[in-house]
Structures are given as structure tokens and as C-alpha cells.
């Protein structure tokens, strides 16, 4: 039998990994294998059904999700970090750099699409993912990490505020859910303090 092609990953060396259980791992993905793509789609679907927080209100078709994740791998400004439990992809986060023309913002990156499938929550996977993104951004000389989140994402708000992200603004018409405007909270973290 032919072994399925593995994802090409960059191992992460961070103190946060030491706190993870031995069956858990966070990696930076350079190339996504088919089995990992399917696990990632599955984790995304389960997280959207559980309340999402990263854009979708209902899960798109599997083909649509596959296209989304394949697209992420093609965008030079984006880096994908995945979290595994027993080898299965259970969550992810992205580091997004400013486009080259945006010289005035060249020291600020964005953390986005941070989620962990409901079955894997509460074991430190999101923390390890966030630490990996913060450290990668600092290694690339970014001094600030930005993010935004719907005001209704209570777990994410507690999580990011616990990680030292400072809320600097509230956007009253940030997202529309079921025909109602939902506010969004905007945060930044000074990476010089990481
Ligand atoms: C927010 C989320 C990523 C946390 O994932 P997780 O793997 O359970 O988080 P961890 O186990 O790594 O917890 C990390 C920290 O966050 C805190 N935290 C996590 N969920 C929390 C909750 N529901 N309420 C309060 N604190 C919470 C933990 O107590 C922990 O604190 P510590 O570092 O001081 O010990 C997860 O709940 C999720 O995917 N939510 C939906 C997606 C979302 O809203 N994403 C934000 C938009 S980008």
C-alpha cells in the first residue's frame, strides 16, 4: 500500500509546546497533505456548527472548505499553523503579514482564524497555537500583532485578553448575524513585551 503523502511542516520550538500533553502538537504548515486537509475541514465544520467565530455562519460545502484551505496555502502573506491531537488536525491559526505596498504598516501583522474543534478544547491547544504565531511574528521583526473578534465570542475574548491583547476599539457594525448588527472588538499586542 502506498503511504499517503505527509504535510510539509516546519517544527516549532517554543516553551508553549512543553506544556502540551504528549499526544498534542503545533506545527507551521508549508504544504498540506490530503489527510490533513480533510481533518482541517472536519475541525472547521465542527467549530462553525458550535458557533464559529471566524466568519462562516453555516458550514460551506466540503469542496468550498477544501478550496478555502488550499487558497490559504497559496497566499504569500499568510502562514498556517495547525494543532494536532493524536495526529489529527484539531485546530488552526493564521499569521497574516501586510502586503508589500503597505510600508507604513510593515511592523504590524495580524492573527486570524484562530479556532480549536469543540472536542479538543480546554487542553491548551489554542494557547500553543497563539504562542507559535506570536513568536513567528516577533522572529520576523513585527512589533505589533492585531486581531478582531465578534463581541459574542466570549471564549475567544477571555482567551485573547488573558494573553495580553489590549482592546483599543469597538466597531458597532462589525458583523451581521441573522439580520442584526453585532459589534466587534479590536485588539493589539505589543510583541516587544512577549
Ligand atoms: C477560543 C478558543 C480558540 C480556545 O481554545 P482552547 O483550545 O479551548 O483554549 P486553551 O485550552 O488553549 O485555553 C487557553 C486559555 O484560554 C482560556 N479559555 C479558553 N476558553 C475559555 C472560556 N470559554 N472562558 C474563559 N477562558 C477560556 C483558558 O482558561 C486558558 O487560560 P490560561 O492560558 O490562563 O490557562 C476556542 O474556544 C474556539 O475555537 N472558539 C471558537 C472560535 C473563535 O471564537 N475564534 C476567535 C475568532 S479568531
- For position 21, which CATH number holds? 3.40.630.30
All cell numbers assigned to 74: 497559496
180, pLDDT greater than 80: yes
- Residue whose Cα lies nearest atom 17 of ligand 1: it is 159
Domain carrying residue 27: 8-142
In-domain check, residue 176? no
User: What's the rounded Cα separation, in Å, for the pair 114 and 23?
Assistant: 20
**Higher model confidence: residue 157 or residue 12?**
157
Q: Which atom of ligand 1 is nearest to the CA of 112?
A: 48
In-domain check, residue 115? yes
Residue 153 in contact with ligand 1 by CB distance below 6 A? yes
Query: In whole angstroms, how far apart are CA 183 and each of 31, 53, 106, 152, 187?
Result: 35, 13, 27, 8, 13
Considering the chain, what is the average pLDDT of its residues? 95
In-domain check, residue 161? no
In-domain check, residue 101? yes
In-domain check, residue 180? no
> pLDDT at position 13, please?
79
> pLDDT at position 5, please?
84
In-domain check, residue 100? yes
User: Hey, which of 159, 162, 164 would you mutate to test ligand 1's pocket, going by the most ligand atoms within 8 Å of its Cβ?
Assistant: 159
- Number of independent structural domains in the chain: 1
Q: Which H or E element spans position 161?
A: helix 154-162
In-domain check, residue 74? yes
Q: Which whole number is the average pLDDT over 162-186? A: 97
> pLDDT at position 9, please?
93
> pLDDT at position 15, please?
76
Strand-pairing partners, residue 189, are 145
User: What's the rounded Cα separation, in Å, for the pair 89 and 43?
Assistant: 7
2, pLDDT greater than 90: no
In-domain check, residue 155? no
Q: Which whole number is the average pLDDT over 13-41? A: 92
119 Cα: distance to centroid of ligand 1 (angstroms)? 13
Q: Which whole number is the average pLDDT over 169-187? A: 97
- Per residue in 59-111, pLDDT tens? 999 999 999 999 999 999 999 999 999 999 999 999 999 999 999 999 999 99
To the question of pTM greater than 0.85 for the whole model, the response is: yes
- Per residue in 51-61, pLDDT tens? 987 889 999 99
Strand-pairing partners, residue 83, are 26, 91
Q: In this structure, are strands 180-190 and 108-116 parallel, antiparallel, or unpaired?
A: unpaired
15 Cα: distance to centroid of ligand 1 (angstroms)? 18
Amino acid at each position: 500500500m502506498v503511504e499517503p503523502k505527509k504535510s510539509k511542516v516546519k517544527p516549532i520550538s517554543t516553551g508553549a509546546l512543553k506544556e502540551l500533553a504528549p499526544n498534542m502538537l503545533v506545527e507551521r504548515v508549508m504544504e498540506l497533505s490530503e489527510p490533513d486537509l480533510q481533518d482541517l475541514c472536519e475541525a472547521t465544520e465542527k467549530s462553525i456548527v458550535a458557533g464559529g467565530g471566524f466568519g462562516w455562519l453555516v458550514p460551506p460545502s466540503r469542496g468550498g472548505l477544501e478550496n478555502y484551505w488550499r487558497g490559504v496555502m497559496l497566499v504569500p502573506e499568510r502562514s498556517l499553523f495547525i494543532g494536532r491531537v493524536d495526529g489529527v488536525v484539531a485546530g488552526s491559526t493564521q499569521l497574516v503579514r501586510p502586503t508589500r505596498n503597505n510600508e507604513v504598516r510593515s511592523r504590524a501583522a495580524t492573527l486570524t482564524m484562530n479556532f480549536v474543534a469543540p472536542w479538543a478544547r480546554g487542553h491548551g491547544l489554542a494557547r500553543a497555537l497563539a504562542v507559535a504565531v506570536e513568536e513567528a511574528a516577533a522572529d520576523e521583526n513585527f512589533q505589533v500583532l492585531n486581531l478582531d473578534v465578534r463581541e459574542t465570542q466570549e471564549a475567544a475574548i477571555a482567551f485573547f485578553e488573558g494573553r495580553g491583547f489590549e482592546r483599543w476599539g469597538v466597531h458597532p457594525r462589525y458583523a451581521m448575524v441573522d439580520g442584526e448588527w453585532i459589534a466587534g472588538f479590536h485588539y493589539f499586542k505589543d510583541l516587544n513585551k512577549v
